[in-house]
Amino acid sequence: MTDLFSKFDPLIQQRETLLATGVTDPYNLVMEKVISPTVAICNGRETILLGTYNYMGMTFDPDVIAAGKDALDKFGAGTTGSRVLNGTYQGHKECEEALKEFYAMEHAMVFSTGYQANLGIISTIAGKGDYVILDIDSHASIYDGCAMGNAEIVAFRHNDVEALEKRLKRLPPEAGKLVVLEGVYSMLGDVAPLKEMIRVSKEAGAMVLVDEAHSMGFIGENGRGVAEAQGVIDDVDFIIGTFSKSVGTVGGFCVSNHPKFEILRLVCRPYVFTASLPPSVVATAATSIRKLIHGSNKRAHLWENSKVLHKGLRDLGFTLGTVEAQSAIIAVIMPDLEKGAMMWEALLDEGLYVNLARPPATPANMTLLRCSLCAEHSIEQVGEILGRFERAGKRIGIIG
Ligand SMILES: Cc1ncc(COP(=O)(O)O)c(C=O)c1O
């Protein structure tokens, strides 16, 4: 018998080697108690959270929590069914209405996760004989959506408009084409040049899908994302997003103005063949989305936090993923996985949680300490975070 697990041996070996150094397992941390969007108890210690996607701090918003409790009481714990059968409740429709209002778009479709939204939309609309043209650093859910569909896949160099244009020009003019982009790329926190990319895509007759998972709620005047900030939202055919970041709960969605969009509810397998979100979740999502419409003060504060942290880390001598803060994600580049894990642990000892990101999730084999800020971090907390980075960085020898 061939052990089907033997393919994981190199990863098992790498993990064992790392843990043999005595470092805490960075992928096994338990949040024993969550006190607020920015503070939790980890290993019995009060810890500042700097590695969540809770950009707008909505997880503890009192209106959001009240809406969830009310829906739990009135509609029960779950729907036990697919959106197309018994799984569409009033709350799912309200959530879709809130999304249509938030994006000022005609159609909204709520999925059980953002992962499934990408999986479903990409695999369903790009079929045999069509082409999906995607940035090489695209999120796993985009790649998996491509793998699930039958279209030809063409990747281009990260954020390179010329490379995209070249690829598009090589494709048969009459073929169906879907260009898939992200507003903010989650590993380095860099923003896509959507304006130019959408221009070349449209010139080549392609439809455009933008995943705004890490920009929704924060970037753009109304928090609609990078496409809004760059003035091209009307040229985007499909926006994909998630409730697991700024919205503060779980779920995914696609919004669009395409006149035939509603047919997707019958043909999109990751929408049809899975249970719908629980009533409490869609109630929290709808309430949160409606509040995010009026989140301009929080957006301004989150920008301030991001800029202060970026400058502070750069001044301390850390190497960062972007020259300036482009989003609420600030990536600190580590020399290697071992040093990255040591620094991650040193920060945890200081009472600071960040994400340790490593290949294959990261571009160019980088090990990153990804910091993501929250609109609920006070400016004093950001100062405290910098102090903890300085102490840990000197202890581990990342900075002098
Ligand atoms: C760019 C991007 N798209 C989609 C997703 C999936 O979102 P969800 O957590 O709702 O499945 C993520 C999650 O990390 C993401 O970063």
Q: Residue 22 has what pLDDT?
A: 87
Q: How far apart are CA 326 and CA 323, in angstroms?
A: 9
For residue 106, give the 3-state DSSP assignment.
coil
For residue 198, give the 3-state DSSP assignment.
helix
Q: Which residues pair with 62 in a beta bridge?
A: none
Closest ligand 1 atom to 250 CA: 10
Q: Residue 400 has what pLDDT?
A: 87
Mean pLDDT score across all residues of the chain:
97
Burial class (CB in 10 A: 0-12, 13-18, 19+), 6: exposed
- C-beta of residue 158 within 8 angstroms of C-beta of residue 135: yes
Find the Cα–Cα–Cα–Cα dihedral 280, 281, 286, 291, rounded to 10°.
100
Pocket lining: 159 vs ligand 1, CB cutoff 6 Å: no
Sequence-ordered list of residues with C-beta below 8 angstroms from that of 113, at least 6 positions apart, any chain: 242, 244, 250, 251, 252
Q: How far apart are CA 31 and CA 48, in angstroms?
A: 11
Q: How far apart are CA 118 and CA 209, in angstroms?
A: 10
Pocket lining: 118 vs ligand 1, CB cutoff 6 Å: yes
Q: Are strands 329-334 and 367-372 parallel, antiparallel or unpaired?
A: antiparallel
Ranges 10-24, 235-249, 320-334: which has the least confidence: 10-24
Ligand 1: distance of its center to the CA of 115 in Å?
A: 5
What is the band of 297 on the pLDDT scale with cuts at 50, 70, 90? Answer: very high
| Residue whose entry in the numeric block shows the structure tokens 């999925």 | 111
Pocket lining: 186 vs ligand 1, CB cutoff 6 Å: yes
Q: Residue 26 has what pLDDT?
A: 86
Pocket lining: 113 vs ligand 1, CB cutoff 6 Å: yes
Q: Which two tokens mark 114? A: 């953002």
Percent of the chain topping pLDDT 90:
95
Percent of the chain topping pLDDT 70:
100
Q: How far apart are CA 335 and CA 105, in angstroms?
A: 44
Q: How far apart are CA 400 and CA 317, in angstroms?
A: 8
pLDDT at 4 over 90: yes
Closest protein CA for atom 10 of ligand 1 = 114
- C-beta of residue 27 within 8 angstroms of C-beta of residue 330: no
Q: How far apart are CA 330 and CA 369, in angstroms?
A: 8
Pocket lining: 212 vs ligand 1, CB cutoff 6 Å: no
Q: What is the pLDDT of residues 50-104, one digit of tens each?
A: 999 999 999 999 999 999 999 999 999 999 999 999 999 999 999 999 999 999 9
For residue 133, give the 3-state DSSP assignment.
strand
Q: What is the pLDDT of residues 305-355, one digit of tens each?
A: 999 999 999 999 999 999 999 999 999 999 999 999 999 999 999 999 999
pLDDT at 24 over 90: no
Rounded to whole angstroms, what are the CA distances from 354 to 36, 309, 329?
Answer: 16, 13, 11
Ligand 1: distance of its center to the CA of 363 in Å?
A: 17
Chain center to CA of 85 = 29
- C-beta of residue 194 within 8 angstroms of C-beta of residue 227: yes
Task: Supply the angle between the helices 279-293 and 90-103 in degrees, to the nearest 10.
Answer: 20
Positive or negative, the Cα torsion across 68, 74, 80, 82?
A: negative
Q: Which two tokens mark 159? A: 């954020």
Q: How far apart are CA 215 and CA 239, in angstroms?
A: 11
Cis peptide before 279 (omega within 30 of 0): no
What is the band of 360 on the pLDDT scale with cuts at 50, 70, 90? Answer: confident
Pocket lining: 211 vs ligand 1, CB cutoff 6 Å: yes
Ligand 1: distance of its center to the CA of 179 in Å?
A: 18
Q: How far apart are CA 324 and CA 342, in angstroms?
A: 26
- C-beta of residue 111 within 8 angstroms of C-beta of residue 120: yes
What is the band of 164 on the pLDDT scale with cuts at 50, 70, 90? Answer: very high
Q: Which two tokens mark 217? A: 């709620």
| Residue whose entry in the numeric block shows the structure tokens 């020259």 | 323
Ligand 1: distance of its center to the CA of 248 in Å?
A: 13
Ligand 1: distance of its center to the CA of 186 in Å?
A: 9
Q: Residue 89 has what pLDDT?
A: 98
Ligand 1: distance of its center to the CA of 189 in Å?
A: 14
48 phi and psi, to 5 degrees?
-80, 130
Q: Strands (DSSP E) along 186-340, which ranges?
A: 190-191, 207-211, 238-242, 252-256, 329-334
pLDDT at 263 over 90: yes
